[in-house]
Chain A
Amino acid sequence: EVQLVESGGGLAQPGRSLRVSCAASGFSFHNYAMHWVRQAPGKGLEWVSGISWNSVGIGYADSVKGRFTISRDNAKNSLSLQMNSLRLEDTALYYCAKGFGLCTAGGCYSDAFDIWGQGTMVTVSS
């Protein structure tokens, strides 16, 4: 069964750090770009960051650039998002999502998202 399971969410104070992770199974993780997409309570979807299959291509939304770092470990089928200097507006459900495979160039990560995890909630509050 193709599955993505996020972990590591929780409560953090503004300015502090948190790391969320995603464990992948049921597909060839090393072949696909991976992404983080978030959804603030009652709001729409916001793409946060993406990473190509070989980690050569990495992108961030302007809202998190310089504060968040995406990484992956193909040997462990895992994806991570290190979130530093957290702000109140980072409060959201963070989804891990698999790239569909429309993006075929080596460092490319811009794609559709065909498999999603259940999400992990990150709350930033003092």
Chain B
Amino acid sequence: DIQMTQSPSSLSASVGDRVTITCQASQDIRNYLNWYQQKPGKAPKLLIYDASYLETGVPSRFSGSGSGTDFTFTISSLQPEDIATYYCQQYDDLPTFGQGTRLEIK
């Protein structure tokens, strides 16, 4: 199985801050990497697919980059409604998720 390692596991930031989360794959997954947002008590929501493509309707302050084994997810200007847990997920092999990054407001 391909292991996905996210960092940090939790993060505290202020409104307006630039926030970055990284995800590292245990082997080359090309660009087969997706990012999800999960708010408490809700189902996950797809934000980014194929490492860098924004899902329809997702605000442009969210972005993704990377290929191979190293990937980055960025929120350019943190908003209060962005408080959630974020997960990366690879689909080069059987799908696997990272362990999640809990984002809080400072």
Q: How many B residues touch A, CB cutoff 8 Å?
A: 25
Given contacts A45-B100, A100-B49, contact A61 B44 (CB under 8 A): no
B95–A110 contact, CB under 8 A? yes
A113–B44 contact, CB under 8 A? yes
Given contacts A45-B44, A112-B34, A112-B46, contact A103 B91 (CB under 8 A): yes
Give the bracket for the number of chain A residues in contact with chain B. 20 to 34
Smallest Cβ-Cβ distance to B97: which chain A residue: A45
A47 and B32 alpha carbons, distance in the complex (Å) = 15
B97–A111 contact, CB under 8 A? no
Contact indicator per residue, chain B 29-54, by CB within 8 Å of chain A (1) or not (0): 00010101010000111100110000
Smallest Cβ-Cβ distance to A35: which chain B residue: B95
B89 within 8 A of A: yes
B43–A47 contact, CB under 8 A? no
Q: Give chain B residues whose Cβ lies under 8 Å from the Cβ of A119.
A: 43
Q: Which of B1, B44, B99 is close to A62, meaning CB atoms less than 8 Å apart?
A: B1
Q: Give chain B residues whose Cβ lies under 8 Å from the Cβ of A95.
A: 43-44
